[in-house]
Chain A
Amino acid sequence: MKENTRAVITVIGRDMVGILAEVSGKCAEANANVIEVTQSVLDGFFCMIMIIEISNINCQLEELKDEIGERVPEMTVHVMHENIFNSMHRI
């Protein structure tokens, strides 16, 4: 079976200028290809889910999370390997 090599980034918090730019900029630096982005803003509340390819990234997943967190300090950031979603929601 092919190894799953994607991760899911979620960013939630009050909307402001440049969130997407900061997060995707960091992904580019880490050599992570952005595969899919979905975002919504509801009543000033920003919610973004980004799926990235991590087979060639140049840092650990946890470092990526910490650095994204530093760039958007007011947001709640999660970076999680896709396996957790697959195992919880798929049989």
Chain B
Amino acid sequence: MTLACGLVPLALVAVFTLRGDHTIYLSRPVATSHEPAQADCKGCHRTPWQPLVRLVSIDNQVRSVQDKDCQHCHWQSKSDHNRFAMTKGVPDCAVCHQEHRGLKRLTERADEFCIKCHAPFEKHPEFALHRAWSPDRQQTEINEIMFRHLLDIAEFGESASDSRGARWLDKTALRFNHKDHLKPLNAVWNEHSDSSSSPTTVQLECNDCHQPDATGSYMRSIVFEDHCMSCHPLRFSSKLSDQPLPHEKPEIVHGVLRDRLMDYVRQHPEEAIGSHVETPSRLPNKPSQPAPKEVWSWVEEELRLIESAVFQTVAGTGTLPKNNACQRCHITSGDASTNEKGSGFGFQIVSPNIPTRWLAHSRFDHGRHRDVACIECHHVERDAQPLECTSLESTSVADILMPKLEVCQNCHGTTRGLPTKRYGRKNCLECHQYHHVPESNAADAQSH
């Protein structure tokens, strides 16, 4: 009987092993995506005797499944974790994506692992763009790198337009006023109307300009033609009122204006005839044509007049152009009338550099937050009461309207400060993406 009790399990184990079915050796079920290969341990455990090596070397960094084994199928690598230097070492794939844990997806990572090194959400540091910074103050290595990114799109200092003290200011080189744009009944020009027709009036909402991208997660970049032109058509001349100017560099606008004026004078030669010497026509029944030299003179004169409106410089005067001149919105340098080198164009637009992402090391899905009003998160502080939701009162592009950490914690955390209770998850992976996804693998990343 003892012998039988020894032979029976031996036979069962031998049958499974000789059939190549190693499922009896599974310590726990594998993730759903690995189930087709779970009968063959060698699919992942390509290097044998690693547990023995781990024991002998007394080192848990010796993995039974190494990164190169994962990369037989997966493109990600541990170098994606926080491109910045890690003082504690970058974990291997198997450290975070632990198989044989009964997880359906290996990307489901309990926060208990992350918070061994990082703070839990309740103790999450304030977002960098809301923290004080000083170039004189010694920062930790991580903070210095994070602030370095922030310094590309913002600057820390005091705004001349208010008295809120030193803070991060948006470096976008534009003149823009949310309050003016969101006030009731703004004027909108129909794109097919000319300058003589009256504009219609509309009440702008946030989503008239801020529209989600194809993924629904983030907002599309602001494009003049899509978001601004209907209210700020680039028409500066009654002669060319049916053709708005392109929203381009000054030199291109200059060239387009000249071409259109040339076309105009060909269609309306009498404009150039009135003040210049008439060239007799050689053909019967044909009107006299202005001489080429006179045409050019007329065009140059008209060009000068129009460009004095388009490229008018009022910087430093404390006023803005009343029409849709470049300086109404753009920060400029130089002067259209000056030409220091004798060629080229002196009037230059400072590139706006509107940031596309503020919190670049996190991920956010606006689509999932569609039941939250914009101003609940995007607001500007007034009188140290950040949750008054006064984004409608932002008058300066320097205002960073990104929410503070406590806004997120209202739903994704324990504070629950809002009157309507929303309960969002507070897992680290809700916001933080470990692997930085190249664009070519964006579709793959969507499955994470």
Real binding pair: no
User: Which A residues are within 8 Å of any B CB, using their own CB?
Assistant: none
**Which B residues have a C-beta under 8 Å from some C-beta of A?**
none
